Amino acid sequence: MNNVRCTASDDGLTIHLSGRVDSGNAQDVEEAIKQMVDGRSGDQIVLDLEDLEYVSSAGLRVILRLAKSAGTFKIVNASSAVYEIFDMTGFTEMFEITKAYRRISVEGCEVIGKGANGEVYRIDPDTIVKVYLNPDSLPEIHRERELARTAFVQGIPTAIPYDVVRVGEGYGSVFELLNAKSLGKLLVAGEITVDEAAKMSIDLLKIIHGTVVNPDSMPSERDIVLDWVDYLKDHLEPELWQKLHDLVEAVPEDNHLMHGDYHLKNIMVQNGETLLIDMDTLCHGHPIFELASIYNAYVGFSETDPSIVMKFQGFDQETAHELWHKSLALYLGTDDEDAIRSVEEKATIIGQTRLYRRTLRRDGNPAMIAAAKKHLEELVPKTDTLLF
């Protein structure tokens, strides 16, 4: 039949229904399904209803009999109308049933942010969507939603995703941000100064870092950084690597909240209020780790290629360096250049550790590898602690 097709895998069968299944064709649909599952009794069966418009009571009986022949059975991609039928008839209590995701297009939409995991688009004046690069990103999306809720409940001003959508072959999270602009956009447009951008971002960062969280609810950044260090074991001299490892390991566990990817494009301003977005990197740890990620955003990533910060942040390298220095001074609450430089060197060690490992795993850029290694060789031997 045209409205029944099947795909098989080692895990079982996926049966796709389309159009309508009612008293007029239910018997033919069932016969077609029987031929598909013949000899595979007890397999996992997934019923994919992305293209199904309507199912009658006769169709429901077909589904019931199919479920009884399966080892495990679930229904996916049910439209709102079909899901309502399942809900009214009690199917949602009997089976695992998930709704279909609304489809949207981001073609021609303004890109307001880009990160390692995805891009953020404005799809209308009130709404933005974060589109994930990984086409199998549903677990990431659900994890980020839970992290965002955790932060919101803890009093962090953040945008909560209210919908999951399909974008092309992938997925996205939708946020309502009424006429909000990122601090980065405001700075580039000349609507705020570097001083104002630094103050607004650090004011929010201090709220974040002042929040204590359950360490079981999110990753430890210290553990993440130790993984970076371990990756470099065969790329650094043994004595240097051991010193780097000992420095990171000596940082005590800290249950204060960290964003993990903090920069102006992840801070939105709406009606004068700053809101945090892009929550998939939330973690807990000592603030030196957060400062290292800020260092990378404004200095580290673009050290060997100044065009990178322009592409990523929208402003030039000189502005980025000024923003980093003023942000660090505000965070530390001092104008003492020696004190600022001391913490900057600690952040540089962690930031360059990440860049070294990241570059080795990705494109192997010789200039970035050489710069990262040089920083570590200069700073690690003279550093006794990463704490401040």
Q: What is the CATH number of the domain that holds 197?
A: 3.90.1200
What pLDDT score does 75 carry?
96
pLDDT at residue 314 above 80? yes
Q: What are phi and psi of 164, to 5 degrees?
A: -115, 135
Contacts of 289 (CB under 8 A, 6+ apart): 221, 222, 225, 251, 258, 283, 350
Give 8-25 as a DSSP string: EETTEEEEEEEEEESTTT
Is the pLDDT at 40 greater than 80? The verdict is no
CATH number at 22 reads: 3.30.750.24
For residue 319, is pLDDT > 80? yes
Residues 117 and 250 reside in one and the same domain: no
> What is the rounded average pLDDT of the residues 180-207?
96
Tell me the mean pLDDT in the region 270-294.
93
Instruction: Read off the pLDDT of residues 367-383 as tens digits, 9 standing for 90 and up.
Output: 999 999 999 999 999 99
Q: Are residues 118 and 88 in the same domain?
A: no
Residue-wise pLDDT for 51-104, tens only, equals: 999 999 999 999 999 998 888 999 999 998 999 999 999 999 999 998 888 889
CB 171 within 8 A of CB 132: yes
For residue 130, what are the β-bridge partners? 120, 173
Query: Tokens 């960290």 belong to which residue?
Result: 258
> 95 and 112, same structural domain?
no
Is 147 a domain residue? yes
Residue 269 token pair: 């301003």
- Structure tokens, 265: 């494009």
> What's the pLDDT score for residue 219?
95
State the residue range of the domain holding 88: 4-100
pLDDT for the residue 146: 87
| CB-based contact 261:290 (threshold 8 Å) | no
Domain boundary among the residues 139, 157, 176 is at: 176
The β-bridge partners of 110 are 122
C-alpha–C-alpha distance, residues 362 and 93, integer Å:
46
Between CA 330 and CA 312 the distance in angstroms is 23
* Residue 314, both tokens: 């929208």
Taking only the tens place, the pLDDT of each residue in 210-259 is 999 999 999 999 999 999 999 999 999 999 999 999 999 999 999 999 99
384 in any annotated domain:
no
The angle formed by the CA atoms of residues 158, 163 and 165, to the nearest 5 degrees, is 125
**Is residue 387 pLDDT above 90, yes or no?**
yes
* Domain assignment present for 152: yes
For residue 388, what pLDDT is reported?
Answer: 97
150: CATH: 3.30.200.20
Same domain? For 200 and 284 the reply is yes
The answer to whether residues 42 and 82 belong to one domain is yes
Q: Is the pLDDT of residue 120 over 90?
A: no
Residue 388 lies in a domain: no
349 — phi, psi (to 5°)? Answer: -60, -50
Q: What percent of the chain has pLDDT over 70?
A: 98
Q: How far apart are CA 4 and CA 47, in angstroms?
A: 10
Based on the domain organization, do 300 and 331 belong to the same domain?
Answer: yes
Cα separation, 282 vs 221, whole angstroms: 9
What lies within 8 Å, CB to CB, of 219 at 6+ separation is 283, 284
Task: Centre a 10 Å sphere on the Cβ of residue 159 and count the other Cβ atoms it contains.
Answer: 21
Domain boundary, last residue among 66, 100, 134: 100
Based on the structure, what is the number of domains in the chain? 3
Task: Give the amino acid at 335.
Answer: D
**Same structural domain for residues 70 and 150?**
no
Q: Is the distance from CB of 355 to CB of 296 less than 8 angstroms?
A: yes
Q: Is the pTM of this model over 0.75?
A: yes
- Which residues have C-beta within 8 Å of that of residue 257, sequence separation ≥ 6? 151, 154, 156, 208, 209, 211, 212, 213, 282, 284
* 202 and 94 fall within a common domain: no
Which residues in 228-257 are b (16+ Cβ under 10 Å) and which e?
bbebbeeebeeeebebbbebbeebeebebb
| One domain for residues 269 and 336 | yes
| Residue 172 backbone dihedrals phi, psi, to 5 degrees | -145, 160
Q: Does any domain span residue 25? A: yes
Q: What is the mean pLDDT of the chain?
A: 93
Query: 115 versus 295: which is more confidently predicted?
Result: 295
Question: Stretch 357-374: mean pLDDT, rounded?
Answer: 96
In angstroms, what CA-CA distances link 38 with 63, 318, 373? 16, 69, 61
345 has a pLDDT exceeding 80: yes
Statement: residue 17 has pLDDT above 90? yes
Please check whether residues 158 and 227 belong to one and the same domain: no
Which one of 121, 141, 176 terminates a domain? 176
Burial profile 61-79: b = 16 or more Cβ within 10 angstroms, e = fewer: ebbeebbebbeebebebbb
Residues 84 and 120 occupy one common structural domain? no
> Do 303 and 254 share a domain, yes or no?
yes
CA–CA gap between residue 95 and residue 264 (Å, rounded): 45
Please give the residue that has the higher pLDDT: either 223 or 40: 223
Q: Kindly state the average pLDDT of the residues 107-122.
A: 84
- At residue 1, the pLDDT reads 61
